[in-house]
Amino acid sequence: MSTGYVWEEIYGWHNTGNWAGAVPAGLNAQPYQHFESAESKQRLASAIEVSGLAKELTKISVVPATIDQITMVHDSLYIERIRKDSESTFGGDAGDGLSPFGTGAYEIALMAVGGAIAAFDAVASGEVDNAYALVRPPGHHARPETGMGFCIFGNAGIAIKNGMKKFGLKKVAVVDWDVHHGNGTQEIFYADPNVLTISLHQDQLFPPKSGYAKDQGIDAGQGFAINIPLPAGSGNGAYLEALKEIVFPALEKFAPEIIVVCCGFDAAMTDPLGRMIVTASGYREMTRELMKIADKVCGGKIVMTHEGGYSPTYVPFCGLAVIETLANTTTEMKDVLAEFWDALPDQKVQEWQVERIKNIKSQLTFLSDN
Ligand SMILES: [Zn+2]
């Protein structure tokens, strides 16, 4: 059993400036750090080294994605704008005014896509059993003609398009458990029945008016997009319930050749942007259960690409839990807060959450068709 791992130091150099969270610094807000700073990612990479986990992983080398690969998803004018703005000493913005970047962001974003591609290819080719690509900037909000939500290029979407062509794959499934709707990945494959996209997210958090249960794809892709908008406050029990009630039956029915997880840790306790309460043990359990389904449907082939997660102190525990599970190991680095946070009464799935999940399931044509 081997688990591939992608991390490049340059990912930590993606410069999102001195914003105060999501507010531009200036007379309105004292300069601080943008929410999407390097901290949570670099600290996870560091924990992977210090815990000894890195020694049990297969490091995957990364080369920048090519323009041909990026244009499988993105508009040429958009790519060129990012390249030009990224040359400037002032940097630019990916497109929504919330996603600033500094000099060199273009090259770093190409490396992030390259990391997702390398991880996908390593799993698809059988070089490793599964893989975790700890990449930055994130990608699941990036749309074909513009970046948004701190994302520049659609890392996972491009890796899937590229990998399906390269390996002649017919069916790939995406499970996005970042707390925000995976709108970019969904849009890329919205009319495509060969890629099933499933997003679990906090209802209406970001982007606004996106990720409704009724949004299920168009044309030939009708039914092949699944959205599971969970209520704020959902914890380990609610997430597992949604996985078991909707995600796993959908995966079994679709029978993908490979499962790509857009892995965000912003549904975790203490995240400054999400209002969910998932803990490191919750992520461990979610990964363990997903691996059982992957064993059943696609020989265990799972590729995870890192998305959001903005708690610099808690993301490392959540990331370790997921990657340890993928690698079928544990380290001595423990989440000591589990004693408190796993015991919260709201970690158990609540009756009203069960009802909400049932209601979402009842709307899904993918699961109702025979
Ligand atoms: Zn997110």
Is there a contact between 225 and 190 (Cβ–Cβ < 8 Å)? yes
pLDDT at 370: 55
pTM for the predicted model, two decimal places: 0.98
Give the architecture (CATH level 2) of 3-21+41-368: 3-Layer(aba) Sandwich (3.40)
The amino acid at 210: S
pLDDT above 80: residue 106: yes
Q: How far is the CA of 30 from the centre of ligand 1 (A)?
A: 24
Mean pLDDT of the chain: 98
The active-site residue, picked from 140, 141, 180, 181, is 141
Cα(138) to centroid(ligand 1), Å: 9
pLDDT at 101: 98
For residue 99, report the distance from its CA to the centre of ligand 1, in Å: 13
CA distance 274 to 258: 28
For the cut 70, the answer to whether the pLDDT of residue 117 exceeds it is yes
Give how far Cα 326 sits from Cα of 126, 143, 272, 317, Å: 15, 29, 27, 14
Q: Residue 186 C-alpha to ligand 1 middle, in angstroms?
A: 14
Ligand 1 midpoint to CA 18 (Å): 20
- Percent of the chain, pLDDT > 70? 99
Note the pLDDT of residue 79.
Answer: 98
Strand 172-176 versus strand 130-133 pairing type: unpaired
Q: Is the pLDDT of residue 353 over 80?
A: yes
**How confident is the model at residue 195, as a pLDDT?**
99
Query: 141 catalytic, yes or no?
Result: yes
SS3 per residue for the chain: CCEEEECCHHHHHCCCCCCEECECCECCECCCCECCCCHHHHHHHHHHHHCCHHHHCEECCCCCCCHHHHCCCCCHHHHHHHHHHHHCCCCEECCCCCCEECCCHHHHHHHHHHHHHHHHHHHHCCCCCEEEECCCCCCCCCECCECECCECCCHHHHHHHHHHHHHCCCCEEEEECCCCCCHHHHHHCCCCCCEEEEEEEECCCCCCCCCCCCCCCCHHHCCCEEEEEECCCCCHHHHHHHHHHHHHHHHHHHCCCEEEEEECCCCECCCCCCCCCECHHHHHHHHHHHHHHHHHHHCCCEEEEECCCCCCCCHHHHHHHHHHHHCCCCCCCCCCCHHHHCCCHHHCCCHHHHHHHHHHHHHCHHHHCC
How much distance in Å is there from the Cα of 26 to the middle of ligand 1? 25
User: Could you tell me the distance, in angstroms and rounded to a whole number, from the CA of residue 1 to the centre of ligand 1?
Assistant: 30
Residue 369 has pLDDT above 80, yes or no: no
For the chain, domain boundaries? 3-21+41-368
Ligand 1: distance of its center to the CA of 203 in Å? 12
pLDDT on residue 341? 98
Degrees (nearest 5) of the Cα angle 85, 64, 312? 75
Burial 132-160 (b: 16+ CB within 10 A, else e): bbbbbbbbbbbbeebbbbbbbbbbbbbbb
Quick one: average pLDDT of 127-147?
A: 98
Determine the pLDDT at residue 1: 81
- How many other β-carbons are positioned within 10 Å of the β-carbon of residue 34? 23
Q: What pLDDT, on a 0 to 100 scale, did the predictor assign at position 68? A: 98
* Residues 157-191 pLDDT 10s: 999 999 999 999 999 999 999 999 999 999 999 99
Pull the structure tokens for residue 215. Answer: 């949004």
Report residue 70 as tokens: 């990026």
Tens digit of each residue's pLDDT (9 = 90 or more) over 310-348: 999 999 999 999 999 999 999 999 999 999 999 999 999
Report the C-alpha gap between 36 and 142 in whole angstroms.
Answer: 15
Question: For residue 225, how far is its CA from the centre of ligand 1 (angstroms)?
Answer: 18
What pLDDT, on a 0 to 100 scale, did the predictor assign at position 206? 98
pLDDT digits (tens, 9 = 90+) for 57-104: 999 999 999 999 999 999 999 999 999 999 999 999 999 999 999 999
Kindly indicate the confidence band of residue 359, based on its pLDDT and cuts at 50, 70 and 90: very high
Contacts within 8 Å (CB) and 24+ apart, 121-127: 121/159, 121/163, 121/166, 121/167, 122/4, 122/58, 122/60, 123/4, 123/258, 123/301, 123/302, 123/303, 124/163, 124/166, 124/167, 124/169, 124/257, 124/258, 124/301, 125/167, 127/4, 127/58
pLDDT for the residue 342: 98
pLDDT digits (tens, 9 = 90+) for 1-53: 899 999 999 999 999 999 999 999 999 999 999 999 999 999 999 999 999 99
Distance from residue 8's CA to the centre of ligand 1 (Å): 21
